[in-house]
Structure 1
Amino acid sequence: MSRTRARLAATGTAVVLAVTGMSGAAVADTAPASTPSTGSAVVNSSTTFLKDQALNGIVVIPLPTAAPSYDSTTGISTTFPVTGGSANLSGYYGDIDLGGGLLFINVFTGKSATFKQLHFSVDSWQISGVPVGGTAPVVLLDPAGDSQIGRNGAVQTLNTSDLQLDAAGAEYLDSKLKTSFFKAGQSVGTFALTFTQGS
């Protein structure tokens, strides 16, 4: 093959590769990007519950990325960001992952329990967390009372008039913190959720 023909062949190959590469890049650039689910879950601990836990030496500390705020009338509100999941609240199915964590401390005994990987199961209507150092989730809280479910476009909402301690959570915390404070069905406060499904 002459040098001229070899150059033409090489040039042709380079053009084909360049066009192919550009086409692939164009496809990649125009492919729709997936968006994560967003929203937040707000746990409001009532002043009654806060006083009772303080008298029993129990302190609950929200961990990043949860954000707490305090009101002397309504108590402590902790906002947990939605980090993922798929759910239909009005259909009562799906799962929602929450960021942040919870640290429970008994100042009388010096014992503690920390939960991460918080999760709201719409199927079972329960909030769970995985203890640090463990792998199995523990059901901590049950939204209860009057439940108001709404939808505005893609945004789903849930508001409950009560939030109760689950029997499994009460047993785990009493054992871990060496206390008898926690009771199944104990009212903690209220629960509110805003959820937008990702794509």
Structure 2
Amino acid sequence: MTRTVVAAASVVAALVITAPTASATPHTVHVRSGHTSVTVAPAIAKALLSNGIAPIVTRPGKPSLTTVANQPTLKATYPITGGALTTDPLGGKILHKGGLRFANVFNGRSLEVMNFTIDLNRAELTGRVAGTKTRVPVFKLDLSTAKVKLTKHGADATNVTLKLTSEAAGALNTTLRTKVFSPGLTVGTADTHPRF
């Protein structure tokens, strides 16, 4: 238990270091459970809906409504199913179940990405395209905005900024036949709560 707590503390400390130092024997913390929530920026939610694009959370993800700066928006919460984190240098992955389908209500076309993975080695969130074995980078993770704290059995990283990748923007625009998505678009923020 002591080693787990020490390793967890190392993970949290590493999250706020922009240039972690190398180490021959990095600590590894196995992620057992938890959840990650994605909150869409209100302006983005409004832009999507006004262009006929409906974001739909798929199971076992759970949708909910929330407010940001007194403006309503969508929040999606996904269960964490596993993964492992390392320190010195910071790395590892956090695995999830559930997905997000973007549907164009004007033409009936849709695209779903699912089973998200937070990849700290690449500072990105990837997802598998539904109906395929292809995994694509969906968001780049900006950790400079994050707030991190240690709990007894895990870590909490909040306010991680999500920026749409060029791959995801291109796939969404092409599949949905829209022009609403652009590379680097700040879609919202993520809060992740892995438990060890």
**Partner of residue 185, structure 1:** 184
Aligned to 1:86: 84
Q: Which runs of structure 2 are paired with 1:104-123 in the superposition (5 Å)?
A: 104-123=102-121
Matched ranges for 1:132-147 at <5 A: 132-144=130-142, 145-147=144-146
Q: Does 1:51 align with 2:46?
A: yes
1:163 aligns with 2:158: no
After the TM superposition, which parts of structure 1 deviate over 3 Å for at least 4 consecutive aligned residues?
A: 88-91
Q: Which has the higher helix share?
A: 1
Count of residue correspondences: 163
Larger radius of gyration: 1
Amino acid at match of 2:90: Y
**Can you list the C-alpha shifts for 1:69-120, whole angstroms capped at 9, x where unaligned?**
1025352111101011112479531111111111110112221111222111
* 2-structure distance, mates of 1:174, 1:52: 14
Alpha-carbon separation, structure 1, partners of 2:109 and 2:75: 24
Change (3 A) 1:182 1:99: same
Q: Is the 8 A contact 2:36 2:192 kept in 1?
A: yes
Please give the secondary structure, in 2, of the residue aligned with 1:176.
helix
Question: What is the TM-score of this pair, normalised by structure 2?
Answer: 0.76
Structure 2: how far apart are the matches of 1:100 and 1:62? 8
Given that 1:127 and 1:139 are in contact with CA atoms closer than 8 Å, whether structure 2 keeps it comes out as yes
Question: CA RMSD for the aligned pairs?
Answer: 2.0
CA distance in 2: counterparts of 1:151 and 1:117, whole angstroms: 26
* C-alpha contact (below 8 Å) 1:143/1:160 kept by paired residues: no
Q: For residue 114 of structure 1, give the secondary structure of its aligned residue in structure 2.
A: strand
TM-score (norm 1): 0.75
| SS of aligned partner of 1:96 | strand
